[in-house]
Amino acid sequence: MLEIAKEAAIKAGKLLEEYFGKRHTFKRKKTVGDFSTEAEKASEDLILKILRKKFPNHNILSEEAGKLGSGSGYWWVIDPLDGTIPFTSGLPLFGVSIGLLKNNEPILGVVNVPKLNLLYWAEMGKGAYLNNERIEVNKTRNLADTLISFEWGYIPDRKERIEKILSPLSGKVRYMPNLACAVVAMTYVASGVLEAYIHNAHPWDFAAGACIIKEAGGKVTDWKGKELNWFEDRLAVIASNGLIHNEIISAIKP
């Protein structure tokens, strides 16, 4: 299953590169700043075609298509283009994310960041990899030395959420960059670039990255430190190297 997921992510990444740098047709979703493009739809169609051909009985949870199927214990969780704003702005921080759940647990994850030639993947119990090299989270324990990426997205209470997260952490960490791409931020935690990532978004933003981070030695929970329910519409996620996880939870007091 891993090789099929990698194939789909690589092919979707190549397709997105064909659209990159061109004018786009935008489809507005529910809120300002939340939209999709024809590139996203084309990427999703390609991924679904590959996965449904190889695994016709598996279920699909995808950003554009929603939930498809209900008969199997396996769920493919797909973000065909994360980082739409960077992508449409000509910035390379965008990616394709394909995760696989079994019994509400991520057992496989692939993230392709095509413009940066970065392919991350992991399988439960087999470690995490970047371009065939084993990766691990970093070992930073001191919160004052950390880079913690935080995104707020386009949600009704974004102002309150920003204040709730930024206020208690801003004076305690080295820097808090907003990368505008959840799947890239998750892989940066897995590979040790970031110590942690905090966001409130959808399952497809996190599923693949969660498997990769856990296999790299990190930790992924909700803001209270509890296991995630991958079938909720929105997930409040903290992903970290594991060493500063509880300190972050204590600081933000969700």
**What pTM was computed for the model?**
0.92
Q: CB under 8 Å to 105, separation ≥6 — which residues?
A: 124
Q: For 248-251, which contacts have Cβ atoms below 8 Å and span 24 or more sequence positions?
A: 248/143, 248/148, 248/169, 248/196, 248/198, 249/221, 249/223, 249/224, 249/225, 251/143, 251/168, 251/169, 251/172
Q: What is the mean pLDDT of residues 187-201?
A: 96
24 or 49: which leads in pLDDT: 49
pLDDT of the residue at 175: 86
Percentage of the chain beyond pLDDT 90 is 74
pLDDT of the residue at 35: 46
104: its two tokens = 């509400």
Between CA 143 and CA 30 the distance in angstroms is 36
Element (H, E) at 84: helix 84-88
Q: What is the mean pLDDT of the chain?
A: 90
Element (H, E) at 138: none
150 or 254: which leads in pLDDT: 150
44: its two tokens = 């999703």
- pLDDT single digits (tens) 122-180: 999 999 999 999 999 999 999 999 999 988 766 566 667 667 777 788 888 988 888 99
Q: What is the distance in angstroms between the CA of the first residue and the CA of the last residue of the chain?
A: 37
Between CA 28 and CA 56 the distance in angstroms is 31
Quote the distance between the C-alpha of residue 168 and its chain's center: 24
Q: What is the mean pLDDT of residues 109-120?
A: 99
51 φ, ψ to 5°?
-70, -40
Check pLDDT > 90 for residue 254. Answer: no
Q: CB under 8 Å to 31, separation ≥6 — which residues?
A: 154, 155, 156
Check pLDDT > 60 for residue 3. Answer: yes
Q: CB under 8 Å to 132, separation ≥6 — which residues?
A: none
Instruction: Give yes or no for a contact between 102 and 90, defined as CB atoms under 8 angstroms apart.
Output: no
- pLDDT confidence bin for 19, thresholds 50/70/90: very high
For residue 6, what are the β-bridge partners? none
Check pLDDT > 50 for residue 60. Answer: yes
38: its two tokens = 């024809």
